[in-house]
A and B are shown apart, each in its own frame.
Chain A
Amino acid sequence: MDGAHDLGGRQGFGPVDVNEPEAPFHADWEGRMWAIARTTGQPDWTIDWWRHVRELIDPVDYLSRPYFDSWAQTQIAAFIDSGVLTLEEAISGTAGGPPQEPPPAPTVDEVVAAVPKLATRFDRSIDAPPAFSIGQSVLTVSAGHGGHTRLPQYARGRPGVIHAHHGAHIMPDKSAAGREEAEHLYSVAFEAKALWPEANRRDKVFLDLWESYLEPAG
């Protein structure tokens, strides 16, 4: 969707705050929200669905509220959508039913030890051979759509060159709609000048793009 989240190349946001504290979380609630999101996701939620739920936040809220606040609203909305919480429960902060016993909490060492198990792979084996080869010139498609996509507006209808092929990966546009299908994934190099005329002629921007985002050039 062409939402407020698609920020590449948008202008007017001002300088980057390069002097913020290096602490991972700047408030207690930020860390708690991050941990809630990491530990309470539902089995049928995909990373793409979760991102799409976040993109669907009102654009004014998306751009103006704190980062981890958008995680809270995403998690709450996804819970309500899945029937895990009701809207009334989310608003009141109180569950409708009797209290349930939570699963035992791990220790810090157990959380650290479990990190390697969380290295989720997104590549899949498919029969179709890759349509493009390294060094080939391609053109990105110019049309977007109302669902989730990972082809940003700034890189649509632009010429690039296949820089690398990564096999087939789960296709986010489909995954966010509840279907797991895989497509060949490529890193595509764009001359920065092909994206923005004011860019330095030496610079390049690389995006990781699925096959159906690409057409042969010329």
Chain B
Amino acid sequence: MASFDSAKVAEIHRQLHAHLPSESALRVKALESLLVEKGMVKSENLDAWVEAYSDEVGPKRGAHVVAKAWCDPDFRARLLSDAASAIDELGYLGNATAHLKAVENTDQVHNLVVCTLCSCYPFSLLGIAPNWYKTAAYRSRAVRDPRGVLAEFGVALNEDVAVHVWDSTAELRYLVVPQQPAGTEDLSEAELAKLVTRNAMIGTERDLSARPKGGV
């Protein structure tokens, strides 16, 4: 049973700091072999999880959702009013998306998602969060200097565009719905999905027509 005792856990951390091997790969290897020995996990189980969430459960799911919203106004309306139900229609509900919210970019508003306190991310829809999303640099600056962060990602905003930053402090998770690039009205849903990038769904990319080659 968990103690829920902060002081006890802080002392455990001090012991681990003093005695665990420094190299991360060794720490994880030792932990895995210990858990296997204790019958808590099979190594093949870990393999299956890594493969599932590296490929099948990844940003192509989010891209499908965005492309469908571009093609289908009714779906778009449902996505913006109740995103968890809307993605459930596509079978994409899962970890961290039971309370999903979709926020839409417009000519006047650009949305950017961050988790300043840890690394909350809608991973059943977008897969494993990029490493930069979990760094102190992004977490500290996205709320205070979002325009500076966006500039580093190559996003240039018109002077009259407002930036809305969503700090994921609860169990809500955010999906940015980017704007459909001009001149793509004749593309199929599947073709449109190839234009939608992971970063656009986090908000660190804005103009998908400017992308030389699409795809997630």
Contacts and interface: CB of A to CB of B under 8 A. Distances in A.
A49 B4 contact: yes
Contacts of A210: 170
Interface in B18-61: 19-20, 24-25, 27-54, 56-58
Given A1-B6, A151-B169, A203 B135 contact: no
B34 A93 contact: yes
Given A63-B136, A178-B2, A26 B34 contact: no
B133 to A, nearest CB: 9
B141 A16 contact: yes
B34 A95 contact: yes
B214 interface: no
A196 B139 CA distance: 16
Nearest to B119: A67
A5 B143 contact: no
B164 interface: yes
Nearest to B116: A8
A56 B132 contact: no
A56, A107, A195 pick with most chain B CB within 10 angstroms: A56
B129 to A, nearest CB: 9
Given A67-B134, A90-B34, A206-B166, A57 B48 contact: no
Contacts of A82: 1-3
B162 A115 contact: no
Most chain A CB atoms below 10 A, which of B57, B93, B164? B164
Contacts of B3: 81-82
Nearest to B137: A13
Describe B's contact surface by its main secondary structure.
helix
Nearest to B128: A24
Interface string A44-60: 11010101111011100
A196 B124 contact: no
Contact of B46 (A32, A51, A152, A185): A32
B14 interface: yes
Interface in A175-218: 176-178, 185, 187, 192, 195-196, 199-200, 202-210
28 contacts: A6-B116, A10-B140, A16-B141, A18-B204, A20-B130, A24-B53, A29-B29, A34-B128, A40-B40, A72-B24, A72-B28, A73-B27, A84-B40, A87-B19, A90-B31, A102-B41, A105-B47, A116-B93, A119-B94, A152-B117, A176-B4, A185-B170, A192-B165, A196-B144, A202-B161, A204-B164, A206-B164, A206-B166
